[in-house]
Amino acid sequence: MPWQEVSTMSLRQEFVALAMQQGVNVRELCRRFGVSPKTGYKWLSRFAARGTAGLCDESRRPHRSPTHTAQAVEQVIVELRDRHPSWGARKLCRRLHDVGWRQVPAPSTVQAILVRHGRIEPAESAKHTAWQRFEHALPNALWQMDFKGHFAIAAGRCHPLTVLDDHSRYNLCLQACADEQGHTVQSHLTHSFRRYGLPLRLLIDNGPPWGDSSDNPYTPLGAWLIRLGIRLCHSRPYHPQTLGKDERFHRTLKAEVLREAFADLPSVQRRFDRWRMIYNFERPHEALGMQTPARRYTPSARSFPETLPPIEYAPGDIVRQVQRPGYLCYRSRRFRMSKAFLGYPVALRPTTVDGVLEVFFCHQKIAQIDLTIV
């Protein structure tokens, strides 16, 4: 017949009861119960001193813990976590180091403190896993720009415009906008360009106001950026991972700011401005080796020109002007171009394929035409 399951407490009680009987060989009884003589005599001694209560397990917590984290340090950790609920143990450790704490516990200890104080849910913690990251080697080599999904405020809706430096994750623009129009973006970009200079490349989406579609990725806003000497890169259609760093910034923005309720756009902007300073100068970034974005960012050496430079092409280029309603005329044929370049001169350059030419606006290739197609 199978063994009957019994509790440890009942086994101890039975052992003590049998061991206390006259003439019982205690050592033999220990062997039969599967315990050492030292353990058997320990239970007999406890029972003699405290009765049945002495057979319960006692706390194994040490009487002294010289390396135990001080209560004051635990309180500072919990308070910092309460101010920044989305920051994990590594960010909290780095921030404490940055503000001057000399004996900061290890991230694993901080994690245990947060769990013990109910600041971390195990199920939520398990969702965060590392992935492979790619970044440009220098600041301003590439900026990423997009709108965060709009959200409701008491006075209507807010459309957050965000611009992020790819190398440093430094936030260059966080603006509460009333719409997603090209002129709105241009006005805020002008302010950012005047402060931080121009990037070499700018990664943007395919939809408005960046482009009409994936087939026609240019708008007047794009033409203005190209004239500034910025190379435009468009993300893959239906592939938000291309703008991964800006998308990750949006997730952080949502977790740390957008859970609040706002009355109007000025109140949103005031909150954005406060949080942006924390994000750039205080919040350690795991992808940066726990540095802050401000530690890795430097302004661009390319200054913003208040007057757009003239459009010039090489002597060997074939130059044509884009005519209404958006066509390029060459060899008595018309080729459709984006309306964004209406009235501007463009350059046609032969390729290695006979009859195929590339069309450039300033430095940017904007189209390709095939003269062999009838």
Residue 122 has pLDDT above 60, yes or no: no
Is 70 exceeded by the pLDDT of residue 351? yes
Q: pLDDT, tens digit, for every residue of 319-336?
A: 999 998 889 999 989 999
Which has the higher per-residue pLDDT, 365 or 118? Answer: 365
User: pTM for the complete prediction?
Assistant: 0.68
| Average of per-residue pLDDT across 171-198 | 95
User: Among 230-244, 257-271, 338-352, whose mean pLDDT is lowest?
Assistant: 230-244
By 3-state DSSP, what share of the chain in percent is helix, strand and coil, each rounded to 5? 40, 20, 45
What is the token pair recorded at 140? 């301003």
Contact between 129 and 150 (Cβ < 8 Å): no
Q: What is the pLDDT of residue 68?
A: 67
Question: Can you list the pairs that 105-114 forms with residues at least 24 positions away whose Cβ atoms lie under 8 Å?
Answer: 105/69, 105/73, 105/77, 109/69, 110/77, 113/69, 113/74, 113/77, 113/78, 114/77, 114/78, 114/81, 114/89
Strands 318-321 and 327-330: unpaired
Tell me the per-residue pLDDT of 42-54, one tens digit each, with 9 for 90 and over. Answer: 888 988 888 888 8
- Which of 161-170, 215-224, 249-258 has the lowest average pLDDT? 215-224
User: pLDDT tens, 266-304?
Assistant: 999 999 999 999 999 988 888 778 889 989 999 999 999
Mean pLDDT of the chain: 84
pLDDT given at position 237: 59
- What count of residues does the chain have? 374
The full 3-state SS of 166-235, as one line of letters, equals CCCCCEEEEEEECCCCHHHHHHHHHHHHHHHCCCCEEEECCCCCCCCCCCCCCCHHHHHHHHCCCEEEEC
